[in-house]
Amino acid sequence: MTTPQHFTSLANAVCSLFGEGTKIETTSRISGGDINEAYGLTLTGGKCVFMKTNTRENLSFFTAEAEGLRAIARTKAIGTPQILGVGTDGDRGGRSFLLLEFIHGKSRGINDWEDFARRLSDMHRASTAGLVSNGKYGLDCDNYIGRRRQVNRGHDSWTGFFRDCRLEPQFQDAAPYFDGEDLKRIVRLLDHLDEMLVEPDYPSLLHGDLWGGNVIAGNDGSAWLIDPAVYVGHAEADLAMTELFGGFPPAFYDAYKEAAPLRPGYERRRDIYNLYHLLNHLNMFGRMYLSEVKRIVRRM
Ligand code: ADP
Residue of 211, 275, 216 whose CA lies nearest to 243: 211
Q: Among the three residues 101, 128, 146, which one is the final residue of a domain in this structure?
A: 101
103, 110 contact by CB (below 8 A): no
The answer to whether the predicted template modeling score (pTM) of the entire model surpasses 0.85 is yes
Q: Which domain holds residue 278?
A: 113-299
Residue 73 lies in a domain: yes
Q: Report which ligand 1 atom has the smallest distance to the Cα of 61.
A: 2
Reported as a pLDDT band with limits 50, 70 and 90, residue 219 is confident
Which residue's alpha carbon is nearest to atom 15 within ligand 1?
A: 32
Same domain, 117 and 254: yes
| pLDDT tens digits for range 18-43 | 877 888 889 999 987 778 999 999 99
35 lines ligand 1 (CB under 6 A): yes
Confidence at residue 3, expressed as pLDDT on a 0 to 100 scale: 44
Ligand 1 mean position to 43 CA, how many Å? 18
Same domain, 126 and 17: no
| pLDDT tens digits for range 205-218 | 999 999 999 999 99
Q: Among the three residues 101, 123, 149, which one is the final residue of a domain in this structure?
A: 101
Residue 57 lies in a domain: yes
Same domain, 144 and 272: yes
Ligand 1 mean position to 31 CA, how many Å? 8
Q: Nearest 5°: CA angle at 142, between 139 and 146?
A: 115
284 lines ligand 1 (CB under 6 A): no
Residue 122 lies in a domain: yes
Residue 1 lies in a domain: no
Same domain, 153 and 274: yes
Same domain, 64 and 31: yes
223 DSSP β-pair partners: 217
Count, residues in the chain? 300
Our count of domains for the chain comes to 2
Residue 233 phi, psi (nearest 5):
-160, -155
Q: Which of 23-27, 50-54, 260-264 is the least confident region?
A: 23-27
Distance CA 91, CA 206 (A): 36
Residue of 247, 248, 230, 243 whose CA lies nearest to 270: 243
What burial class does residue 5 get, using C-beta atoms within 10 Å of its C-beta: 0-12 exposed, 13-18 middle, 19+ buried?
Answer: exposed
Question: Span 225-250, mean pLDDT?
Answer: 97
Residue 268 phi, psi (nearest 5):
-70, -40
Ligand 1 mean position to 281 CA, how many Å? 19
Which residue's alpha carbon is nearest to atom 1 within ligand 1?
A: 33
Which residue's alpha carbon is nearest to atom 6 within ligand 1?
A: 227
Residue of 74, 135, 77 whose CA lies nearest to 260: 77
Same domain, 157 and 240: yes
Q: How, if at all, do strands 231-233 and 223-225 pair?
A: unpaired
Long-range contacts of residues 172-178, Cβ cutoff 8 Å, at least 24 apart = 173/279, 173/283, 174/279, 174/282, 174/283, 174/293, 177/282, 177/287, 177/290, 177/293, 178/294
Reported as a pLDDT band with limits 50, 70 and 90, residue 188 is very high
Tell me, what CATH number does 206's domain have?
3.90.1200.10
Same domain, 267 and 188: yes
Residue 107 lies in a domain: no
Alpha helix (H) ranges present in the chain? 7-17, 59-75, 113-125, 158-161, 168-174, 180-191, 193-196, 235-242, 250-259, 266-285, 290-299
User: What percent of the chain has a predicted confidence (pLDDT) above 90?
Assistant: 80
Which residue's alpha carbon is nearest to atom 5 within ligand 1?
A: 33
| pLDDT tens digits for range 127-168 | 999 999 999 999 999 999 999 999 999 999 999 999 999 999
39 lines ligand 1 (CB under 6 A): no
209 is catalytic: yes
Tell me, what CATH number does 10's domain have?
3.30.200.20
